[in-house]
């Protein structure tokens, strides 16, 4: 399988992570990098400083930046790392021209005919693609992955759904990379915790319901769960940590929850980006920790620990790598699902 892929918004934090993860990918070959008008015509290495802890692939550095025009990009699939305020129109332009779009942006996530997918959670929702194409008259389509904080939450909730989840409360401690290279100044985040991230709580509270919902003919019927989120920015580079409280309509204790986490196996090992363990359960009281655990499973595993009984359910800590599992890696995994299912 050899599919041509391009990256929209290739110079930003998530765009760079796409390049890193797609380098030497067994199924996908990067054939185009696109970015804002001010960078068009430059070589990639001359656009913006490479900020990841790996070397920029030499051949990628020589790629010329292309305009975000579907007629000037040769690709079977484009990965979108665009800001949400511009993503909607640009992604639609590619879909209209017959290109598949796997988007990390929030612009289209909650639209009724656009699949919001975590393959280990709701891969059956991919059938919305056919509905979207018919409804809109497009030859291509858009598929999305959730918000970076939502992904860690929902992956950890999925094994617990068999107990009948009624309420979820979550408090996040989110890394600065989630705001992009220029999102939070050092004077704002050093010696500080910022108890507000614009739009983040609303995304967690709505996206979770769509992800855990069920297909009802031509749409998703949202899950009937109450979700309450509080989101905080802290001085960590990568890795979102979440304190999660879950109440269920069936009796559950910490032992039940631990067994559910240990037994969770979505059987997606045929996708190259799928980790050996989707959820890694820590037994030590002081884990998971961002610096030690965010890269488990090449950054695609969610770490869970401190599983304890609570008043009417259980509580635990979840950690996920926000720019890998929560962004670029999630979109690539969705792209692999599309390839496996014959959509590209």
Average of per-residue pLDDT across 138-155: 98
* Domain covering 148-321, topology: Dihydrodipicolinate Reductase; domain 2 (3.30.360)
The answer to whether 79 touches 18, Cβ cutoff 8 Å, is yes
Q: Is the pLDDT of residue 182 over 90?
A: no
pLDDT digits (tens, 9 = 90+) for 30-73: 999 999 999 999 999 999 789 898 999 999 999 999 999 999 99
pLDDT digits (tens, 9 = 90+) for 186-242: 999 999 999 999 999 999 999 999 999 999 989 999 999 999 999 999 999 999 999
Whether 148 sits among the annotated catalytic residues: the reply is yes
> Angle formed by the axes of helices 13-22 and 329-340, to 10°?
50
Q: Is the pLDDT of residue 118 over 90?
A: yes
Average of per-residue pLDDT across 97-120: 97
The confidence score (pLDDT) of residue 181 equals 87
Average of per-residue pLDDT across 272-290: 97
Rounded Cα distance between 103 and 142, Å, is 7
Whether 321 sits among the annotated catalytic residues: the reply is no
The confidence score (pLDDT) of residue 49 equals 87
**Assigned CATH class of 3-147+327-340:** alpha beta
Q: In what order do the strands lie in the sheet with 3-8?
A: 65-66, 28-34, 3-8, 77-80, 100-103, 141-144
Return the percentage of the chain with pLDDT > 90, whole number: 95
Average of per-residue pLDDT across 136-158: 98
Question: Both tokens of residue 187?
Answer: 């004077």
Average of per-residue pLDDT across 268-295: 97
Average of per-residue pLDDT across 103-116: 97
Q: Is the pLDDT of residue 17 over 90?
A: yes
The confidence score (pLDDT) of residue 48 equals 79
The confidence score (pLDDT) of residue 53 equals 87
**Is residue 175 classed as helix, strand or coil in its secondary structure?**
coil
- 283 to 89, 100, 256, 287, 297: CA distances (angstroms): 46, 42, 14, 8, 17
Continuous H helices in the chain: 13-22, 58-61, 84-96, 119-122, 128-136, 148-157, 186-189, 200-211, 254-263, 290-293, 329-340
Q: How confident is the model at residue 5 (pLDDT cuts 50, 70, 90)?
A: very high
Classify strands 302-310 and 279-281 as parallel, antiparallel or unpaired: parallel
Q: How many residues belong to the chain?
A: 344
The confidence score (pLDDT) of residue 257 equals 98
Selecting among 148, 231, 282, 321, the annotated active-site residue is 148
pLDDT digits (tens, 9 = 90+) for 313-333: 999 999 999 999 999 999 999
Average of per-residue pLDDT across 244-252: 96
Question: Both tokens of residue 31?
Answer: 């054939």
Question: Both tokens of residue 256?
Answer: 């039940």
Return the percentage of the chain with pLDDT > 70, whole number: 100
The confidence score (pLDDT) of residue 111 equals 97
Instruction: Using CA atoms of 329, 332, 334, 336 in order, give the dihedral in degrees to the nearest 10.
Output: -130
Strand positions, DSSP E, the chain: 3-8, 28-34, 65-66, 77-80, 100-103, 141-144, 165-174, 214-216, 219-221, 226-233, 240-248, 279-281, 302-310, 313-320
In 149-170, which positions are buried (b, 16+ CB within 10 angstroms) versus exposed (e)? bbbbbbbbbbbbeebebeebbb
In 82-98, which positions are buried (b, 16+ CB within 10 angstroms) versus exposed (e)? beeebbbebbbbbbeee
Sequence-distant (6+) residues with CB within 8 A of 158 are 120, 121, 212, 264
Averaged pLDDT of the chain: 96
The confidence score (pLDDT) of residue 96 equals 97
Of the chain, the end-to-end C-alpha distance in Å amounts to 11
CB-based contacts of 34-37 (< 8 A; 24+ apart in sequence): 34/6, 34/7, 34/8, 34/9, 34/10, 34/65, 34/66, 34/67, 34/68, 34/73, 35/8, 35/9, 35/10, 35/11, 35/65, 35/68, 36/11, 37/67
Selecting among 125, 240, 282, 321, the annotated active-site residue is 240
The confidence score (pLDDT) of residue 42 equals 95
Question: Both tokens of residue 123?
Answer: 């891969």
Rounded Cα distance between 100 and 262, Å, is 35
The domain locations on the chain are 3-147+327-340, 148-321
């Amino acid at each position: 399988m050899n599919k041509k892929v391009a990256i929209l918004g290739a110079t930003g934090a998530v765009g760079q992570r796409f390049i890193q993860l797609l380098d030497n990918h067994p199924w996908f070959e990067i054939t185009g990098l696109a970015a804002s008008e001010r960078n068009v015509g430059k070589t990639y290495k001359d656009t913006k400083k490479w900020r990841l802890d790996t070397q920029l692939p030499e051949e990628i550095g020589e790629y010329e930046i292309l305009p975000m025009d579907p007629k000037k990009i040769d690709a079977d699939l484009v990965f979108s790392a665009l800001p949400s305020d511009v993503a909607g129109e640009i992604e639609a332009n590619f879909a209209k021209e017959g290109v598949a779009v796997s988007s990390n942006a929030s612009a289209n996530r909650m639209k009724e005919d656009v699949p919001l997918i975590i393959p280990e959670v709701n891969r059956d929702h991919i059938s919305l693609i056919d509905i979207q194409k018919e409804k809109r008259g497009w030859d291509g389509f858009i598929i999305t992955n959730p918000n970076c904080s939502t992904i860690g939450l929902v992956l950890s909730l999925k094994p617990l759904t068999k107990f009948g989840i009624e309420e979820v409360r979550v408090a996040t401690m989110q890394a600065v990379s989630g705001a992009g290279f220029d999102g939070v100044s050092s004077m704002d985040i050093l010696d500080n915790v910022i108890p507000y991230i614009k739009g983040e709580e609303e995304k967690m509270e709505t996206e979770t319901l769509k992800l855990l919902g069920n297909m009802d003919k031509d749409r998703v019927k949202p899950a009937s769960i109450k979700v309450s989120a509080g989101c905080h920015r802290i001085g960590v580079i990568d890795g979102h940590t979440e304190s999660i409280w879950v109440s269920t309509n069936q009796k559950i204790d910490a032992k039940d929850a631990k067994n559910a986490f240990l037994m969770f196996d979505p059987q997606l090992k045929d996708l190259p980006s799928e980790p050996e363990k989707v959820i890694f359960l820590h037994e030590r009281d002081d884990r998971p920790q961002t610096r030690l655990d965010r890269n488990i499973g090449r950054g695609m595993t969610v770490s869970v620990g401190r599983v304890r009984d609570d008043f009417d359910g259980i509580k635990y800590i979840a950690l996920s790598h926000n720019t890998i599992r929560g962004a670029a890696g999630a979109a690539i995994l969705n792209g692999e699902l599309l390839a496996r299912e014959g959509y590209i």
